[in-house]
Chains A and B, each alone.
Chain A
């Protein structure tokens, strides 16, 4: 089961929906790992010819080739498999800069991926409430250390040690759309050295 249930939290914490086909002149879909399932599920509801104007950028991560053939079978106009978000980003920027109004954007997979693509899309001028998202797969978080500003990807434990400055950080639900990351705050600031045992909160 790749669907996670997020407990209600502070307003800053992003919420996600379920992808549905929308009318538009073109469709850009970006997914990582189990996010492929959200695209495959949406395909069931899509009208004929929907994928003829679709461009899929897919980052398999640890799922390897598990979903690739099924994505190919949707016969999208373009399917680009990328080894990482960083590797896919220049392509994403180029697609956004040359796209026209009427483009529909569909994001699926981990919060880190969706958040980073959303940041680029907003930068390109798409209203944030016009971007569809669906969470699938890992709930690992992209976290920014508020002390050194370094970002650690795929954080599963709380507290965790900042991969940049080494401080032990408490992972908050406080989220920045601009940075596309949750906030990590030093857990032993009041009582240095008193570090609670790390718990695997995000799988």
Chain B
């Protein structure tokens, strides 16, 4: 069985947070405690959408020490491939689902003297768990949270009320913006920086930190890429001796799974590297969308990350 071990759960609560975001709470069907996790971890939620299996990663936002259940918050993406719409429209309390054991690709570096967190929009979710973890252990943190508007500022009021002086919220619609350069220049030695949010924000924060001389090892980021849609293509799975068709709104990984093959995966968002697949033959262009392969590996055309990357051309043969 690929991916992290699965947990059979029941949806305990479905709570609208605002116009775009809904919170879901899962409890185990066997009554046992959930595994503990560390702040920043995610779970992969399995959705049975009329026989089509969707698997989306969501950051755990509940207290890492709370073993009674897990909570996630899902932002509805009307232009997306349908996972978040399924969560919003079809998931109701009492429903039985499968989620994965937690996996952490965005953990706190506990050697840090201070944790400086920068969140954009729904990127707030991993920080909710990290803050609970740090508060339980007396860790030093500061959160800067950029939101579109006050009505869409998920959890901003709670965060400010529970962490006086440590949380600052910036509203786009009021023209408020993080003064990043000044913020980074004033941080004491030993600070680690964490950023989670839209792609543009992650790039901006990482580039600014690098320009100001922050060590790469002190800057952490997480961005789950949703697989992008694209032209349908055909792929041959050499080891399984199968030829598969990858649909317009389907990822290569999903198409491999739909063919009854069980490929390795973990994050399904181009970050963890688990699904890395060798390319045996190709005639066409790779559309690499992951954060994993190096430029050299991309140029060599011998590897593909099927969770987020696509192919356009006449022939693609994979060692799978």
A150-166: contact bitstring with B at CB < 8 Å (1 yes, 0 no)? 00000000000000000
Interface residues of A (CB under 8 A from B): 22-25, 96-97, 99-104, 124-127, 129-130
User: Is the CB–CB distance between A100 and B215 below 8 Å?
Assistant: no
**Given A125-B111, A125-B112, A130-B218: A104 in contact with B213 (beta carbons within 8 A):** yes
- CB pair B189–A24 under 8 Å, yes or no, is no
Known: A101-B184, A102-B184, A125-B113. A130 touches B189 (CB 8 A): no
Which B residues touch A25, using CB under 8 A?
Answer: 185, 212-213
The complex places the Cα of A23 from the Cα of B193 at a distance, in Å, of 18
Q: Determine if B98 is an interface residue (Cβ-Cβ < 8 Å).
A: no
In terms of DSSP, what is the predominant structure of the interface of chain B? Answer: loop
B residues within 8 A CB of A127? 215, 217-218
- CB pair B217–A100 under 8 Å, yes or no, is no
Contacts A125-B113, A129-B217, A130-B217; A23 near B189 (Cβ below 8 A)? no
- Cβ–Cβ < 8 Å partners of B188 in chain A: 99-101
A-B CB contact pairs (8 Å), 11 listed = A25-B212, A97-B189, A100-B185, A100-B186, A101-B184, A101-B218, A102-B212, A103-B213, A124-B189, A126-B190, A127-B215
Q: Knowing A25-B185, A130-B218 are in contact, say whether A102-B213 is a contact too (CB < 8 A).
A: yes
Q: Which residue of B lies closest to A104 (CB)?
A: B213
Q: Which A residues are in CB contact (< 8 Å) with B211? A: 23
Q: Does B214 contact A (CB under 8 A)?
A: yes
Q: Scoring B residues 177 to 189 as 1 if CB is less than 8 Å from chain A, else 0, what string do you get?
A: 0000000111111
The answer to whether A103 touches B189 (Cβ under 8 A) is yes
| Chain B neighbourhood of A102, CB < 8 A | 184-185, 212-214
Most buried by A among B112, B185, B214: B214
CB–CB B187/A101 < 8 A: yes
B186's nearest neighbour on chain A, judged by CB, is A100
The answer, yes or no, to whether B100 is at the interface (CB within 8 Å) is no
CA distance A96 to B142 in the complex (A): 21
Contacts of B190 in A (CB 8 A): 101, 124-126
CA distance A23 to B208 in the complex (A): 12
CB-based contact B213/A96 at 8 Å: no
Question: Which one of A25, A101, A125, A127 has the highest number of Cβ atoms from chain B below 10 Å of its Cβ?
Answer: A101
Name the A residues within 8 Å of B184 (CB-CB): 101-102
Which of B185, B212, B215, B216 is the one whose CB lies under 8 Å from A126?
A: B215
A-B residue pairs, 9 tightest by C-beta: A125-B190, A24-B213, A130-B215, A127-B217, A102-B213, A101-B187, A125-B113, A99-B189, A102-B212
Residues 240-258 of B contacting A (Cβ, < 8 Å): none
Q: How far is the CA of A124 from the CA of B111 in the complex (A)?
A: 10
5 extra interchain contacts, Cβ-Cβ under 8 A, other than A22-B213, A102-B213? A101-B214, A103-B189, A124-B113, A129-B217, A130-B218
